[in-house]
């Protein structure tokens, strides 16, 4: 991932996801045992795979990759 794309992903997370009371409103739940309890966000051609911890509303980024390689 080049610098421009990584900054774009950080900006997306800071401006769109962090400001939400419930970060699930914007993302989509993933299915399958490998990604159980994980959500995804779309940022251009990239997918951001996260786990949301409800206790403190923490979003932990697990993986960022091009959509063709992320799953």
The closest of 57, 44, 53, 51 to 10, measured between CA atoms, is 44
Q: How far apart are CA 7 and CA 10, in angstroms?
A: 5
Spans of all domains in the chain? 3-66
- Protein fold of 3-66: YaeB-like fold (3.30.2310)
What backbone torsions phi and psi does residue 32 show, to the nearest 5 degrees? 105, 155
Torsion sign, CA atoms 14, 18, 20, 22: positive
pLDDT per residue of the chain (71 residues) written in tens, 0 to 9: 889 999 999 999 999 998 888 899 999 999 888 888 899 999 998 999 888 887 776 788 888 888 777 76
Q: Which pLDDT value is given to residue 71?
A: 63
**pTM, full prediction:** 0.78
């Amino acid at each position: 991932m080049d610098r421009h794309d990584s900054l774009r992903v950080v900006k997306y997370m800071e401006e769109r996801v962090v400001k939400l009371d419930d970060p699930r409103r914007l993302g989509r739940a993933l299915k399958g045992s490998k990604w159980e309890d994980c959500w995804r966000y779309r940022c251009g051609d990239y997918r951001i795979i996260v786990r949301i911890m409800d206790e403190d509303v923490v979003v932990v980024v697990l993986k960022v990759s091009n959509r063709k390689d992320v799953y």
